[in-house]
Amino acid sequence: MTTPLDQLFTKLRSENRAALIAYIPAGFPSKERCSKVIQTLAAAGVDAIEIGFPYSDPVMDGPTIQEAAEISLRGGTRAADVFDALKVASDTGVAAVVMTYWNPIAKFGIDKFAEAIASHGGSGVITPDLTIEESQAWLAASKAHNVNPIFVVAPSTSDARLAQVSAKTGGFVYAASVMGVTGARSNTTIDAHDLVKRVRSVTTLPVCVGLGVSTREQAKSVAGYADGVIVGSAFIKLLLNEPDEEKALIAVSALAKELAVGVREGR
């Protein structure tokens, strides 16, 4: 049984273009405003939305996403709010996934978490700190509920390891474009191109690049060789820097439209 995410990549392959995937933490800037941001992103042309599960010890996240997660946690965001945000995203018609560290899944209950993802329209879960050696229970639960288990690889990942991780992955392989934490950067390094090429040599799964894209030109560049361009910190910065709700949504919409154009110019 395919998910909306699988269907999206099949469609985009026939159109010969990459996907634009937007990241937003659940409950940020507030629970109510998060829903509006999600709907704004979908209306502006993003192909998929990644809902972040705010966590108190986000080892992979840079300062921008950490700040957003802290605001969300202070606002009382819980697992139920993450699933609600996922439902808002899937209801817009775009493919929707959740990104979370392992601890919240274990705390919530592994099978119960996979079931909740599926029942709220989710296509998959990105688990940046879950190793394939410790993933048996999650792989079983995600398979039972038709949820794609999405693993993360980095430039430091060996070729042998890439093959092992890709074999356990569903939906797409998440390629971290640079060594280090998330955050918008002035340039994306050559690591991403090389990494995508290496991943492609071991799997037919789509490969999506995250960590650093913030401009139309960067989106165009990455879309030239990857199957998906993931953007998070650039949207979050706009929301952090613009307290006026209406102006913030206009800024988010404008950036999403620019990035959507960039992605379509990539090939």
Residues with catalytic annotation?
A: 50, 61
Cα(242)–Cα(119) distance, rounded to whole angstroms?
Answer: 34
Residue in this structure with the two tokens 């209306």, named with its chain if needed: 43
Contact 88, 114 (CB under 8 A): no
Contact 121, 83 (CB under 8 A): no
In 3D space, the residue among 106, 107, 87, 111 whose CA is nearest the CA of residue 97 turns out to be 87
Please name the amino acid found at residue 195. Answer: L
Contact 130, 150 (CB under 8 A): no
